[in-house]
C-alpha cells in the first residue's frame, strides 16, 4: 500500500493520491445510488450502499486510498442529538443550550448508533484491492462541537465562539464528551479494518491562538495518545484547516504522523514549521479540479514541486465540489502518474 508506505517513512514517488470527498455528487454512479437511499443520513447508515459509494471512485480512478463514506456528524447523532440534512441548507441540529442538555447525550447509545458505520468498514476491508489503503475518520472535537452548539453550518459559528468566552464550561464539557466518543468510534473503525484514521478539524482556523491550543490541539492530542497507546504503530492524519502558522505546533503537540494542508498553506512555510519526517497531505485548490485543462495540470505540477524531497500524499486543500467533471479527476490522475521521475 503506497499510502501506508509513506506514512511508515518510505520515500515514494509519484506520491500516493486520494481526494477529500472523492465519493460524491460529481459522480453519476453516486447519484444513482443516492437516489436509492432516501435521505443522506440513511445512506450513511446503509452499510452496503455506503460501501458501494466508497468503492465507486476506487474502481473508476484507482486511488491509492479509500476513505470511508460517512459524515462527521454521525457521532453527535449517535450520542442522541437530533440531526437532519435539509436540501440546500446542509446539516441542522437542535443547538445544545445547557450542561443539562449535554448530560442527556450518551456514550453507550453512540456504540449502537455507530454500528452500521463499523459494518461499512468491515465490508470495505473485504472488498478493496489489496494495494488500496482504507482510511477511517471522525470530525475533530472542536469542529463537531461547532455544529452541536450553533445547530448548523455556515458562517463562522458565532454562538460557539461566544460560548468559548461566556460559558467555557459548556464548551469544555462538549469537547470532553466528544474526545471520549471519538476515541471509541475510531477504535471501532480500526478494529473493523481501517489501516489509518484521520481527524477533520475543518473549523480549527476560526479560533485565536490560545483557544486553538486549548480546543483543537489538546483534544486532538488526547485522542491520538489514547489510540496510539492501544494500537502500536498506528498512523494518524490530522487536518487543522486554516491553522496557518500554528500547523507546526499542532503536529508537534498532537503527535499526528501526517498533516493535511488547506489550499492557502504554502508548502515551504509548512515544511519549515513542522518537525522533520512529517508527512504532508494536500493541497491542490479544488477550483482547479473544476477548471481542468492547462490550469489544472500547472496546479498539480506546482504542488508536486512544492513537496519534492518530502514525504507527501497528494490531495486537495479541501473537498471536491459537486460541479467537478469526472474527466478532470481522470486528468489529475494521469498527470500525477506521469510524474515518474524521482524527485
The residues that are catalytic are: 21, 25, 34, 71, 147
Return the half-sphere exposure (C-beta side, CA atoms, 13 A cut-off) of residue 42.
8
Torsion of CA 15, 2, 312, 328, to 10 degrees: 40
Task: Round the CA-based radius of gyration of the chain to a whole number and report it.
Answer: 19
Q: Is 229 exposed, middle or buried (0-12, 13-18, 19+ CB in 10 A)?
A: exposed
Residue 279: partners with Cβ closer than 8 Å, 6 or more residues away: 6, 7, 237, 257, 258, 259, 310, 311, 312, 313
Return the closest-CA partner of residue 16 out of 323, 282, 245. Answer: 282
Strand partners, 199: 138, 238
Amino acid at each position: 500500500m503506497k499510502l501506508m508506505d509513506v506514512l511508515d517513512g518510505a520515500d515514494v514517488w509519484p506520491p500516493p493520491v486520494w481526494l477529500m470527498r472523492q465519493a460524491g455528487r460529481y459522480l453519476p454512479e453516486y447519484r444513482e445510488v443516492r437516489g436509492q437511499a432516501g435521505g443522506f443520513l440513511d445512506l450513511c447508515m446503509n452499510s452496503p450502499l455506503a460501501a458501494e459509494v466508497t468503492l465507486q471512485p476506487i474502481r473508476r480512478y484507482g486511488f491509492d486510498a479509500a476513505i470511508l463514506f460517512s459524515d462527521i456528524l454521525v457521532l453527535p447523532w449517535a450520542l442522541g442529538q437530533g440531526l437532519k440534512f435539509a436540501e440546500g441548507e446542509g446539516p441542522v441540529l437542535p443547538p445544545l443550550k445547557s450542561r443539562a442538555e449535554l448530560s442527556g447525550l450518551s456514550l453507550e447509545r453512540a456504540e449502537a448508533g455507530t454500528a452500521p458505520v463499523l459494518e461499512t468498514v468491515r465490508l470495505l476491508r473485504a472488498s478493496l484491492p489489496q494495494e488500496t489503503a482504507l482510511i477511517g475518520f471522525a470530525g475533530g472535537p472542536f469542529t463537531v462541537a461547532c455544529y452541536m452548539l450553533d445547530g448548523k453550518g455556515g458562517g463562522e459559528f458565532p454562538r460557539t465562539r461566544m460560548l468559548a468566552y461566556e460559558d467555557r464550561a459548556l464548551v469544555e464539557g462538549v469537547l470532553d464528551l466528544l474526545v471520549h466518543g471519538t476515541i471509541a468510534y475510531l477504535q471501532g473503525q480500526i478494529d473493523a479494518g481501517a489501516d489509518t484514521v484521520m481527524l477533520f478539524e475543518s473549523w480549527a482556523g476560526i479560533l485565536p491562538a490560545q483557544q486553538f491550543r486549548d480546543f483543537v490541539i489538546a483534544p486532538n492530542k488526547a485522542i491520538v495518545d489514547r489510540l496510539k497507546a492501544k494500537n502500536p504503530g498506528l498512523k494518524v492524519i490530522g487536518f487543522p484547516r486554516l491553522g496557518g502558522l500554528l500547523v507546526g505546533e499542532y503536529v508537534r503537540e498532537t503527535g499526528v504522523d501526517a498533516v493535511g494542508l488547506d489550499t492557502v498553506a504554502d508548502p515551504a512555510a509548512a515544511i519549515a514549521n513542522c518537525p522533520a519526517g512529517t508527512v504532508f497531505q494536500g493541497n491542490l485548490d479544488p477550483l482547479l479540479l473544476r477548471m481542468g485543462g492547462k490550469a489544472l495540470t500547472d496546479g498539480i505540477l506546482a504542488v508536486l514541486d512544492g513537496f519534492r524531497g518530502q514525504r507527501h500524499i497528494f490531495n486537495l486543500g479541501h473537498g471536491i465540489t459537486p460541479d467537478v467533471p469526472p474527466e478532470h479527476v481522470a486528468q489529475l490522475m494521469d498527470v500525477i502518474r506521469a510524474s515518474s521521475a524521482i524527485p
